[in-house]
Structure 1
């Protein structure tokens, strides 16, 4: 996996974290929570997004959102 931080919690006053990630096929990011919201945009292929017990498949050119949690 290749990861670049575009904007972190400090520069967004804790609102969100923006990352540019290149991940291999079938990459899984374990279920987790954190204070910042996340927006996912898929450039190519697809990924699954699990939010509040719902699973969503994101394909090329689509986006998904995961709200931050009160830690």
Structure 2
């Protein structure tokens, strides 16, 4: 997911997507713990997506506050 794609979405969409990604990360970590994870690089990708979404949400928050 690109930052440009994230910036075009609404805050509600971003919050719901953030919730979904956190749940996916939890499941991936659980799979890693029981040695059933097929693609360990997916954890890294999900973490980066979470960080991108949080960054855009914070930028939006700062813009509205100013």
Say yes or no: TM over 0.5.
no
What TM-score do you get using the length of structure 2 for normalisation? Answer: 0.29
Length-normalised TM-score, structure 1:
0.27
User: More relative contact order in 1 or in 2 (CA 8 Å, sep 6+)?
Assistant: 2
| Structure with the higher strand share, 1 or 2 | 1
Mark the structure with the bigger radius of gyration.
2
More helix by share: 2
